[in-house]
Structure 1
Amino acid sequence: MTVDAHHHLWDLDVRDQPWITGERMSPLRRDFLPHDLAAALKGSTVDATVLVQTVSDPDETPEMLVLADTVDRIAAVVGWVDLTGRDVRERIGRLQSHPSGRWLRGIRHQVEDEPDPDWLLRPEVLNGLAAVEDAGLLYELLVRPHQLPAATKVVGQLPQLTFVLDHCAKPPIADGELEPWASRIRALAAHPNVVCKLSGLVTEDDWDRQPDPVRLRRYVDVVLEAFGPERLMFGSDWPVCLLAAEYGQVVRVARELTAGLDERARSAIFDGTAREVYRIPRVEPQNRG
């Protein structure tokens, strides 16, 4: 069994995805719906997935919760709330009390788009993160390398809150650089309340040169050493990954990059870690309604 800990769905007739701009991003400017997900997963060992928010829109998360009720493989949802809002606790409570609220496992915000590298350290954001912790949810860190120092301070201030680092903090693979990304990853990983997704790497390199495990290996080795298999989990980042690689290629590259690990370690990365973090049972219920 395999858990895909990171993918998206969207319907452009319901909501625009304003981050999809320019000719090179045009392959993503179409709908990606549950039947497209089913087609991508066909023939794979993936039996559970985590559906992750794409826009800062409070209406998106309830829609994703309903999808988790109706799409067999979706086993957890990571949604969005305005962490800076004074009513953040009430908004999280309304999501959890939604008829499909049992699927909500975490909250995420596109911190990568915030111009302030210390955005996570703002008092109002820290208050919002405390509300996420009090609700029993996790928080996903979507940050770039220059934002890792602030992220490291935040996870130290909230040791009881589980943080999930998306896409290994988007290392500069296309530039072939390791530092200062690698040192900052190690500093973040020193905090035991952080886990990391082995995801999003094919699109951090030159898309025309992917999928290429040789070009990714140095970066994967850093996160493997820093987090260990028990705090690392596979995610496809589908359909964004399609800019550089098909779904099956992303899975194969991830498995090739972890081929030197023993079976227990690989099982953690591709299954066990995500099930523990997102509270996903090993046998999906037959009746999801």
Structure 2
Amino acid sequence: MTVDAHHHVWDLSVRDQDWIPQHSPLRRDFTLADLAPEARAAGVTRTVLVQTVTVPEETPEFLALADAHDLIAGVVGWTDLTRPDIAEELARLRQLPGGTHLKGIRHQVQGEPDPEWLLRPDVRRGLTALADAGLTYDLVVLPHQLPACAKAAETLPQLTFALDHLGKPPIASGALEPWAARLRALAALPNTVCKLSGMVTEADPASWTVADLLPYAETVLEAFGPDRLMFGSDWPVCTETATYTHVLDVTRQLTAGLSVTEHTAVYEATARRVYDL
């Protein structure tokens, strides 16, 4: 059994995905009907659906989708963490159809100009409400924002922080530092986990190889350990450079040295534990 801990869906007739460049191959609908046969062919039986845009309507739609399809075991949605009634809003979301599938919240921190956005008092209040509700927080950040992630995780030990896409290291350039040092500082905190996801997107789209990804995969394996790592396809963003099956195959090559127990952690057990699937 394999759990895909990170993928998306979108329907451009419902709303625009304004982060997608105008002529990108991603500028079309990607639905669960598109993903399901690919996941099945790859042996993936459960997934975590992750937010894409910062609008309140998306999360209820994703919860309803999870309610209707067994493939989706959990949803990482979006809500405004700074709203004064954040605790009540989280409770409201959980009462919606499919509300039991809400497992975490994510915000596009990578787009925030303040590198210490996570440390703002109003954001910290929202993060505390997530912890009180038993939810996780997904971190989509750039390398220069990792120190703030570590500070936030250190001051909120009761909240699990899940780092998406390894913190977006500069794989295309081949540089490891200062990303690696910042990542290790975050991984030193026991309430943090990391997704083996998004690597092909950060690599050179025209010429990347498994060898290009290996130093970054090895860094997170050493820093977090298999018990705090989980596979994520980042479908359909990954399709710019690799198919769903290819991404899973490459990730398995990068983790070929793991024991059976460690392999189970990365491809199933960690996601089940972190997201209470």
TM-score range, shorter chain: over 0.9
Counterpart residue type for residue 16 of structure 2: D
Match in the other structure for 2:222: 225
Question: After the TM superposition, which residues 92-241 of structure 1 pair with which residues of structure 2 at under 5 Å, given as runs?
Answer: 92-210=90-208, 212-241=209-238
Say if 2:78 is the partner of 1:80: yes
Say if 2:11 is the partner of 1:14: no
CA displacement at 1:46 relative to structure 2: 0.5
When residues 16 and 22 of structure 1 are mapped into structure 2, their CA distance, relative to the original with a 3 A threshold, is closer
CA displacement at 1:22 relative to structure 2: 4.1
Match in the other structure for 1:248: 245
Counterpart residue type for residue 225 of structure 1: E
The total of aligned residue pairs comes to: 277
CA displacement at 1:99 relative to structure 2: 2.6
In 2, Cα distance between equivalents of 1:252 and 1:119? 36
In 1, Cα distance between equivalents of 2:205 and 2:40? 24
1:185-241, Cα deviation, whole Å (9 max, x unpaired) = 10000000000000000000111123x210000000000000000000000000000
Counterpart residue type for residue 80 of structure 2: D
Counterpart residue type for residue 81 of structure 1: T
Counterpart residue type for residue 161 of structure 2: F
Partner-residue secondary structure (3-state), 1:64: helix
Unpaired stretches in structure 1, ≥5 consecutive residues? 281-289
Match in the other structure for 1:5: 5
In 2, Cα distance between equivalents of 1:119 and 1:107? 16
Match in the other structure for 1:287: none
Moved over 2 A (4+): none
How high is the TM-score relative to the length of structure 2? 0.98
In 1, Cα distance between equivalents of 2:165 and 2:74? 18
How high is the TM-score relative to the length of structure 1? 0.94
CA displacement at 1:42 relative to structure 2: 3.4
Counterpart residue type for residue 28 of structure 1: L
Say if 2:48 is the partner of 1:70: no
In 1, Cα distance between equivalents of 2:212 and 2:245? 18
In 2, Cα distance between equivalents of 1:242 and 1:209? 15
1:29-74, Cα deviation, whole Å (9 max, x unpaired) = 1111111011321311111000000000000000000000112210
1:163-206, Cα deviation, whole Å (9 max, x unpaired) = 10000000000111000000001000000000000000000011
Counterpart residue type for residue 6 of structure 2: H
In 1, Cα distance between equivalents of 2:225 and 2:53? 31
Q: Percent same amino acid at aligned positions?
A: 61
Contact persistence 2:67–2:97 (CA under 8 A): no
CA displacement at 1:125 relative to structure 2: 0.4
Aligned Cα root-mean-square deviation (Å): 0.8
Match in the other structure for 1:39: 37
In 2, Cα distance between equivalents of 1:236 and 1:99? 26
Match in the other structure for 1:259: 256
